[in-house]
Amino acid sequence: MSKYQLIFVLAFSHVVTTVAAAQGLNSRAFDTLPTVAKRPVTGNIGPVCPTLGQQVNSTGAGECNVTLTIKMGKYEPLDLCEPELNARSYTPEALLVGPDEWTDDPEVLYISYGEHVASVYRGSPTRTPILGLRQIKAPDFFVDVVTISQWEYEVRTYHMSEISLRRADTQEGFKRVKGEGSPKPIALYKVSGLPFAVYNLKNPDPSKTDRIRISYVSNATSKVFEVFHDPKTDAWTATDGGGQLVVEKTSVINPEDPCERTEVRVENENGVQVRRRTRVFRGFAWAQELVSESEEERGEIKTTTYTYYQNPREPGYMSVQTKTFPDGSWETYDYPSDARGNVHQRVIASGGSRRQ
């Protein structure tokens, strides 16, 4: 069972630790992973940053504020990566598919949540389905994503040896096929048998979209976490099933500089603070970027800082120019292109001695 496990992250760290078999939810709490596009802010926590042209807050930093990772053996995992909570967050449409969806190992099937219409110059508009994950079939496991309501769905995982599958009579699913622009209609699977683990994602208060409850059940193991975001203060909290605070992240804009925002994330274990991280973001012309990060654990503080190329005429525009590490060493980068036009990062200067 160690191959199929859940890592639950609610609060912003780049390193995700592996959990033991059947351990279920891992309460690292909201964590930020810079894997999503910059989005407009939705809260109201301060004045507009004139350089960026909008407020600087956690939902506009282009990072995941609520993440969920379901590992699946040798295949890439399933991920949830939400910068903010909205109606989409409680549907399978929000799941990011890790396995190669263009092959039959595993077989990845979708269902449609509507149509995307794109205008075509001098022609009819094209219509493509908006797809959400429905099933994954691998040689030794099966994943069934079941919508319960507009505000709730489950990810049910099965051992293939403990179930039986057959195709449905109608083609309600879709499968991506190499060489074809549109997904191909296909019959979904009907499953008989009991799952070895169930992950439930739910909006506990459908009158709002400011919280999400994620629970895990497997045999005698069960865990529950609830994440809440206050858009007025831009504070995130994660509590366990007993209501105990696990992680809290606050965000404050500098009253003297509306383009500077400081995040403080505190992680607790059994009611005792065990980790603290402070991050400073700055609004640039293109987006918010991290300029300083300090990690504090058991009395030790490690700080890393970043500067960026800000001249649009420079090849490295919007990219990290210099990174200074906790030991005081530093590296400066440029971004040359290869023969194919691909840009890569290159160290052009450095100083100090990196401690391994």
Query: 216-233, pLDDT tens digit by residue?
Result: 999 888 999 999 999 889
CB 209 within 8 A of CB 230: no
Determine which of 19-23, 90-94, 148-152, 208-212 has the lowest per-residue pLDDT on average. 19-23
Bond before 106 cis per omega within 30 degrees: yes
> Per residue in 68-83, pLDDT tens?
898 888 888 889 999 9
Residue 124 backbone phi and psi in degrees, to 5? -75, 145
| pLDDT surpassing 90 at residue 167 | yes
Q: Residue 92's CB: how many other CB atoms inside 10 A?
A: 22
How confident is the model at residue 53, as a pLDDT? 92
All residues at 6 or more sequence positions from 38 whose CB lies less than 8 Å from its CB, including other chains: 60, 61, 62, 286, 287, 288
* Residue 123 pLDDT level (bands cut at 50, 70, 90): low
- Higher-scoring residue by pLDDT: 43, 75: 75
Cα angle 215, 218, 219 (rounded to 5 degrees) comes to 140
Q: Looking at residues 114-140, what average pLDDT do you find? A: 74
Name the pTM for this structure. 0.80
All residues at 6 or more sequence positions from 190 whose CB lies less than 8 Å from its CB, including other chains: 165, 166, 167, 168
How confident is the model at residue 295, as a pLDDT? 95
Q: Looking at residues 160-174, what average pLDDT do you find? A: 94
How confident is the model at residue 98, as a pLDDT? 77
CB-facing half-sphere around the CA of 315: CA atoms within 13 A: 12
> Per residue in 293-305, pLDDT tens?
999 987 889 999 9
Give residue for tokens 């956690």.
58
Q: Which of left, alpha, beta for 134 (phi over 0: left; psi -120 to 50: alpha)?
A: alpha
The CA distance from 145 to 100, in Å, is 17
| pLDDT surpassing 80 at residue 322 | yes
Task: Name residue 175's amino acid.
Answer: K
Question: What 3-state DSSP class applies to 93?
Answer: helix
| pLDDT surpassing 50 at residue 36 | no
